[in-house]
A and B are shown apart, each in its own frame.
Chain A
Amino acid sequence: MTGIHIEVDGERIAGLAGQSIAGLLLADGRVAWRRTRTGRPRGVFCGIGACFDCLVTVNGLRDVRACQRRAVDGDKVDLQEDDRD
């Protein structure tokens, strides 16, 4: 198993190659990483790409489903607020 690191809001987090970004964040003890327009926290809900709750910004690109995207070593992940950069 290959270890990888991604940067989440500037913080370096370790994970395993093949993990989804959501899996990596959950394994790191996080359950929420996005806020809706009224500020409600969101993380994984459906886990299969249907609900779009788990969106993150990956390497500057918004609206990426964390449960569908495999983490790649060096990925820069920013937590997303729907109405803010």
Chain B
Amino acid sequence: MTEVLVVGGGPAGMAAALAARRHGARVVLLEAGDDIGGQYWRHLPGGRADPGERLWHHGWDRFLAMRDELLGDDGCEVVTGAHVWSVERRDGAPPLVHVFVGEPDGQGREPRTLDPAALVLATGAYERTLPFPGWDLPGVFTAGAAQALAKGERVAVGRRVLVAGAGPFLLPVVAGLLRIGAEVAGVIEAAGPAQLAGGWAPRPWQLIAARRKAGELAGYARQLAAHRIPYRTGAAVVAAHGTDRVEAVTVARLTRDWTPVPGTGRRIEADAVCVSHGFVPRTELALAAGCAVGVDGAVTVDERQRTSVPGVLTAGELTGIGGVDLALAEGEIAGSVASGGVPAPGAVRERAVFRKFAARLAAAHGIRPGWRAWVDDDTVVCRCEDVTAGALRRAAELTGSRGLRSLKLTTRAGLGLCQGRTCGRTVESMLTGSNEPGLLDPGRTAHRPIAIPVRLGELAASTRTSNREDVP
């Protein structure tokens, strides 16, 4: 019997585990949180169940059915609190997966080493927020933080909240904020009318197939209107103001390439600002496994969701940002293939539909280079190590180095605890501006051989206590 290890308990990972089970494989599903569902179906913990939980989600019944099936299945071991810290490439076999099971950032957790016949990585994505002056003030959040706190804890990040950035994800965030009683001061979308039309309007028939998605977006638009929430396109938050926390922001009009137009800045009062400009695939495990990635940083897969490394498959946001429907379809295909089966034609069709949708998303809301103009020299770029844009530019100029490795080590950008998750892409794009000769080692900020911090005591003990296990 094929043994399949799935890392990540979001929609893609759940779909992969279920498909692998249907094809007769035994499955281990690793999830870092204390329940599955991922960011998309993030919900109140068991002890605090809300009878109205369904209202917070799309496809909640589907989630419950999938979860029940996985948890009730003896052939599938769902391990929550599973913190994968290392994926170790091997010759002639899929990689070893090293895990500590227990509390996040805890100590004395149980070490496990898994030796799967096939590995499906479904580690999802996190948000990309472009820096702006004051973005590191408390009260500035990613949009995902507002959503996670609302859906997972029923906590509002502020009383009067401005939501800004790019992409349709801003809209469900607004919905979440309204549901917990926050006032939404406005939604600021960086893409202007031309960019939006260019991405969404051509080939409208493609949207018909993805109408479930289109309907969802239309619902959000109606909600904005009902609450009289201003929705502004072609504009961005170019500064946040306050001393110990955010009190107001400046919003400016943008040109088509996202350069702020001088003299258009307008001050908006808010006690919280949620800003996201897109998503970054969570690739550290895939990179450690040796999987090839594309120029967009997403893992490259074939039509069967297989990566460049034999026995390693990926599904969901890791292969490119596309939303829940694409994640479910890719997970289904990856799980089938990982267990030696043939993917269901329905899943293959769905994947095609939602990939087109994802391409439109990228065209309509993709980051444009003009944003660099709103980053002044004093703007912090690396939040962990307090490295400013000026320090980074100066180091590049003074050393003349074309190496990220060198520039990281001379400035410390990307060397803090987040290991460049937050600033990596920004650092790389700031150093590859139009006047620069370019970096010789691009993509380096995404490499994290230790995928999540581990206590040295646990690491030291892991050699003594962790026996390699075949999956399961």
Contact = CB atoms under 8 A, between A and B. Distances in A.
Contacts of B136: 40, 42, 45
Interface string A16-42: 111110110011000110001110111
Contacts of B142: 45-47, 51
Contact of B384 (A44, A52, A61): A52
Contacts of B146: 47
A46 B274 CA distance: 10
B350 interface: no
Interface string B198-226: 00000000000000000000000000000
A20 to B, nearest CB: 6
A44 B385 CA distance: 16
B453 A49 contact: no
Interface in A26-80: 26-27, 31-32, 36-38, 40-53, 55, 61, 63-65, 67-70
Interface in B135-163: 136-142, 144-149, 152-153, 155, 157
B104 A51 contact: no
B2 interface: no
Given A27-B155, A63-B105, A46 B139 contact: no
Residue picked from A17, A41, A63, most chain B C-beta under 10 Å: A41
Interface in B60-105: 103-105
A32 B243 CA distance: 12
Nearest to B388: A38
A33 B151 CA distance: 23
B361 interface: no
Contact of A41 (B39, B126, B127, B138): B138
Nearest to B157: A26
Interface residues of A: mostly helix, strand, loop or mixed?
Answer: loop
A23 B141 CA distance: 13
A61 B107 contact: yes
Interface stretch (B318-326, B336-344, B417-425): B417-425
Size band of the B side of the interface? 35 or more
B238 to A, nearest CB: 18
B386 A40 contact: yes
Contacts of B105: 61, 63-65, 68-69
Contact of A47 (B107, B141, B282, B422): B141
Contacts of A48: 39, 126, 144-145, 148
A64 B453 CA distance: 10
A23 B150 CA distance: 10
Interface in B13-33: 32
Contacts of A22: 149
Interface residues of A, number: 39
A17 B46 CA distance: 10
B418 A52 contact: yes
B335 to A, nearest CB: 24
A51 B245 contact: no
Contacts of B103: 69
B318 to A, nearest CB: 14
Contact of B421 (A16, A38, A51): A51
Given A37-B386, A50-B126, A31 B138 contact: yes
Interface string B249-270: 0000000000000000000000
A13 to B, nearest CB: 14
A47 B268 CA distance: 24
Contacts of B384: 36, 52-53
A42 B138 CA distance: 6
B193 interface: no
B47 interface: yes
27 contacts: A2-B47, A17-B48, A18-B48, A18-B153, A27-B153, A31-B139, A40-B380, A41-B138, A44-B141, A44-B157, A45-B383, A46-B141, A46-B144, A46-B422, A47-B144, A47-B146, A48-B144, A49-B104, A51-B418, A52-B417, A52-B418, A53-B418, A67-B145, A67-B148, A68-B105, A69-B105, A70-B45
Interface of B: 32, 34, 39, 44-48, 103-107, 126-127, 136-142, 144-149, 152-153, 155, 157, 244-245, 282, 380, 383-386, 416-418, 421-422, 453
Closest 8 A-B residue pairs measured CB to CB?
A: A47-B145, A68-B104, A32-B138, A18-B45, A23-B153, A52-B417, A31-B138, A50-B126
